[in-house]
Amino acid sequence: MNNLLQYSGNYFDKYFNAKNVRKVELLILRFAVFAFLIHLFIVFFGNNFVYFKNFQHSYLKAIYTPFSFILFYEVFLLVIIIPKSISEFVGKQFEVITLITLRSFFHDIADLDLKNSININNPQFISLLYDLMASLIMLCFTILYYKIYQNNRKLEIVNELNDFINIKKLVSISMIFILMLLSISSFYTWGTQMLEALKLQQNYPNPNTVFYADFFSIMIFVDVLLLIISFIYHFSFFTIFRNASFIITTILIRISLTIEKPMNYIIILIGFLFSIISFYLYSLRNTNNKSVN
């Protein structure tokens, strides 16, 4: 077992260093640019040729595509950040769900009829307001969370045993393979549903329920697994409560992905607040203990 952990740790350090991560970033950005141009051409043909009328949309719809690639990269970063501090890992989850919310704006703005007058009673316009308000509040909460994290970073447990760090690296490697398989499977499922929607001229399928719902479902069990394993190396009621609050936030994020607006955003913000308050109280206790000592 120790040999496996050591091997996985060395493998992670070799292939997921800053240089290789940068290469992945550039590759995904190139795909994003290419996909953006392809989407623009598809919308152009849909708006100008009868044969492609099923692809008729606003050009704003194309913005959604490159943003999806950027969001996928953020999910990749979320996976490889697992071996680091659990607090930093949770902060990255905040970033991902905030970007998912912001991406919803680009999806919804393309469906809004800009030629007609925009009024507060228009459900599509209200949906856009939900996206903007929710993403802005999530950004504020994320900044607040990182502020607490940075102020108490030195108080985080930094003396983790190498075995536990290597376990987290093994989990991270496993999650990368799962991410790849889930991406391929979800893309195939989404593509099939997309073609069916085009044939029947129905609304496009929501990619959040195809990929991100499954991904965050897996992340819940990963969080629980790491929480249980961490007990072997450090057992504390306050640490358990803090980590459990992070798991609760992940569960609430997962639930929100299959709920309609604005209730989905309310659930996400509740999850954010629960983690932030728990983390603040945990950090406050550690600060007081350090002062006493």
Domain span at residue 270 reads 2-292
In angstroms, rounded to a whole number, what is the distance separating the alpha carbons of residues 233 and 166?
13
Task: Report yes or no: 67 and 106 within 8 Å, Cβ to Cβ.
Answer: yes
Token digits of residue 181: 């398989």
Low-confidence ranges of the chain (pLDDT < 70): 1-2, 51-56, 113-118, 153-161, 194-195, 197-210, 287-293
Closest Cα to residue 153, out of 283, 249, 289?
Answer: 283
Q: How far apart are CA 19 and CA 21, in angstroms?
A: 6
Residue 39 confidence (pLDDT): 83
| pLDDT given at position 109 | 80
Predicted pLDDT at 159: 47
pLDDT at 6: 79
- Asked if 193 and 205 touch (Cβ cutoff 8 Å), the reply is yes
What pLDDT does residue 264 have?
92
pTM of the model: 0.84
Number of domains in the chain: 1
Residue 207 exposed, middle or buried by CB count within 10 Å (0-12, 13-18, 19+): buried
* The pLDDT of residue 265: 94
Are 45 and 52 in contact, with CB atoms under 8 Å apart?
yes
Q: Give me the pLDDT at residue 261, please.
A: 86
The radius of gyration computed from the CA coordinates of the chain, to the nearest angstrom, equals 21
Q: Report residue 212: phi and psi, to 5°.
A: -70, -30
Each residue's pLDDT tens digit, 77-97: 999 988 887 888 889 999 999
The predicted pLDDT at position 270 comes to 95
d(CA 159, CA 39): 49
* CB-based contacts of 98, cutoff 8 Å, min separation 6: 135, 138, 139, 142
